[in-house]
């Protein structure tokens, strides 16, 4: 009998909705073995332990936060393996909240059964794996305003207001002083801006294709550097997310790089360190050194 595939699920709350999610996963065939998280950091510890036990595939069930936590644990355990040892694979089962990486993989997120069949089929794909300081990411990153919005949006606000909570946080952040960031690419002149968005794939923030040239197999990150973040720049970003593309503008730069560093070069209202987010989760502050990981990541598709 084949070994059950481990699924790490963040139930979000001990609610009827959470119970339905758990029941839906347990009813899948082939039957998975579900591991529930109870606090931040649990998914990383569970994933690391399961890889060390020898499981070849670990599935993250939930949104971007759960996926990124599982990714950290899986990659740390893979890195500790002997040279030539089989690397554990990542599976993504999107449930409830937004999971941008599942969109990039073109998984049928609105059909749990079909999505599970794809994951359990044995078909895989390799994607570029990246590091920002000591953390791993596979889809997107941001330094500056977008990370500050995430930092100022509490779990209680998200539960009470849903997506509106991010809008309210954005309004608060926009009233404050924007950070001054320097993007340093080896061999090139520094770029200066107040928001840096990074993509390993096309999608950012949902079903929006923000990074036109992105390719998760080319060994390059796509980088948008916004020189200032005000109403005009945000309008440009919204236009890109909802219509056909950027119009020519001096307000931002689009570049591709294999390795670069983002530093905060001017104090903000909260000091000189500016927050960073990876795959939608806060993962530290500036300075941030972006670089390729030692190996690519295999994902179930």
Is residue 167 domain-shared with residue 226, that is, in the same domain?
yes
**CATH number for the domain including 214?**
2.60.200.40
pLDDT digits (tens, 9 = 90+) for 7-54: 999 886 556 677 888 999 999 999 999 999 989 899 999 999 999 999
Residue 1 has a pLDDT of 43
Q: Is the pLDDT reported for residue 209 higher than 90?
A: no
Asked if the structure places residue 22 within a domain, the reply is: yes
User: Is residue 79 within 8 Å of residue 71, measured between CB atoms?
Assistant: no
The tally of domains found in the chain comes to 2
Of 293, 295, 217, 219, the residue nearest 257 (C-alpha): 219
Residue 241 has a pLDDT of 58
Report the alpha-carbon distance of residue 29 to residue 18 in Å, rounded.
20
Report the alpha-carbon distance of residue 36 to residue 123 in Å, rounded.
26
Q: Which of these ranges, 25-34, 63-72, 157-166, 184-193, has the smallest mean pLDDT?
A: 157-166
Q: Which of these ranges, 11-15, 190-194, 277-281, has the smallest mean pLDDT?
A: 11-15
* Burial (CB count within 10 angstroms: exposed 0-12, middle 13-18, buried 19+), residue 245: exposed
pLDDT digits (tens, 9 = 90+) for 167-183: 788 778 877 777 899 99
Is residue 252 domain-shared with residue 168, that is, in the same domain?
yes
Asked if the structure places residue 128 within a domain, the reply is: no
Is residue 221 domain-shared with residue 118, that is, in the same domain?
no
Instruction: Compute the C-alpha angle 125/139/129, nearest 5°.
Output: 60
Across residues 140-159, what is the average pLDDT?
85
Is residue 85 domain-shared with residue 165, that is, in the same domain?
no
Q: Is the pLDDT reported for residue 146 higher than 70?
A: yes
User: Is residue 69 within 8 Å of residue 43, measured between CB atoms?
Assistant: yes
The single residue listed with the structure tokens 């670069």 is 260
Longest dimension (CA), the chain: 61
User: Is residue 95 within 8 Å of residue 32, measured between CB atoms?
Assistant: no
Q: Is the pLDDT reported for residue 232 higher than 80?
A: no
Report the alpha-carbon distance of residue 143 to residue 33 in Å, rounded.
36
Range of the domain at 60: 6-122
Report the alpha-carbon distance of residue 119 to residue 123 in Å, rounded.
7
Residues 6+ apart with CB under 8 A from 270: none
Is residue 176 domain-shared with residue 269, that is, in the same domain?
yes
Report the alpha-carbon distance of residue 4 to residue 1 in Å, rounded.
9
As given in the structure block, the two tokens for residue 209 are 């294709």
Is residue 148 domain-shared with residue 281, that is, in the same domain?
yes
Residue 277 has a pLDDT of 95
Residue 207 has a pLDDT of 75
In the structure, what pLDDT confidence band is assigned to residue 123 with cuts at 50, 70 and 90? Answer: very high
Q: Is the pLDDT reported for residue 235 higher than 70?
A: no
Residue 154 has a pLDDT of 80
Is residue 115 domain-shared with residue 179, that is, in the same domain?
no
Is residue 203 domain-shared with residue 279, that is, in the same domain?
yes
């Amino acid at each position: 009998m084949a070994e059950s595939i481990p699924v790490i699920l963040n139930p979000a709350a001990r609610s009827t909705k959470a119970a339905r999610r758990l029941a839906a996963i347990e009813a899948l065939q082939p039957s998975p073995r579900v591991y529930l998280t109870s606090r931040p950091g649990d998914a990383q510890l569970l994933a690391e332990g399961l890889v060390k036990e020898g499981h070849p595939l670990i599935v993250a069930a939930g949104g971007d936060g759960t996926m990124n936590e599982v990714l950290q644990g899986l990659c740390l355990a893979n890195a500790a393996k002997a040279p030539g040892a089989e690397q554990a694979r990542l599976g993504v089962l999107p449930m409830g909240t937004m999971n941008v990486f599942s969109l990039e993989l073109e998984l049928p997120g609105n059909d749990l059964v079909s999505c599970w069949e794809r994951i359990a089929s044995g078909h895989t794909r390799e994607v570029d794996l990246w590091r920002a300081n000591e953390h791993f990411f596979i889809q997107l990153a941001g330094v500056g305003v977008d990370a500050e919005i995430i930092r100022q949006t509490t779990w209680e606000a998200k539960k009470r207001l849903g997506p509106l909570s991010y809008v309210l946080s954005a309004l608060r952040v926009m009233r404050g002083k924007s950070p001054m960031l320097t993007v340093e690419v080896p061999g090139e002149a520094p770029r200066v801006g107040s928001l840096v968005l990074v993509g390993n794939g096309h999608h950012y923030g949902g079903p929006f294709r923000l990074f036109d040239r992105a390719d998760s197999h080319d060994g390059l990150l796509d980088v948008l550097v916004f020189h200032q973040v005000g109403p005009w720049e945000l309008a440009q970003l919204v236009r890109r997310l909802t219509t056909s593309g950027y119009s020519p503008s001096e307000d931002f730069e689009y570049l591709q790089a294999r390795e670069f560093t983002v530093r905060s070069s001017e104090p903000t209202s909260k000091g000189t360190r500016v927050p960073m987010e990876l795959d939608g989760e806060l993962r530290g502050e500036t300075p941030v050194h972006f670089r390729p990981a030692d190996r690519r990541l295999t994902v179930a598709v």
